[in-house]
Amino acid sequence: MSTYLEKLGILSQMISFAKVDKEIKDSEYQFLLGVANQLEVDKETFDSLFDKKVEKVVLKSEAERILQFHRLVLLMNVDHEQRLVEIEQLHNIGLKFGLPQAAIEQVLTVMHHYPDKVVPPAVLINIFKAYNN
């Protein structure tokens, strides 16, 4: 997968996204910490990302960008609230990733059909596949 600096950039972007509504709830922190563990980033380094800026990450492959978009969708929904500012920010991030606008909008619509708004990875992948053909 990514280099260590790319992993820090991924986490930094997620932390920045979590802060968009001006607060980080415990459920969001725990989710972010879980992602940090998956990326093999220690807790001390992870916690330091809340206060320091890390160089922005440019995810090279579309698969990496879709995975990061999915992480952000999960993060947005982990507190069982979706604020308009979060939805708009997520939409803009997807566009900056070069993801198809229609696919982004479809993901943001279908998430309401799943428990806790957790879109299964296979569903998400199929949505993006449909717009790449």
Distance CA 93, CA 65 (A): 10
* Measured distance CA(73)–CA(118) in Å, rounded: 8
Per-residue pLDDT, averaged over 102-110, amounts to 95
Residue type, 24: I
Q: Give the tens place of pLDDT for each residue, 75-104.
A: 999 988 888 999 999 999 999 999 999 999
| pLDDT band at residue 133 using 50, 70 and 90 as cut-offs | low
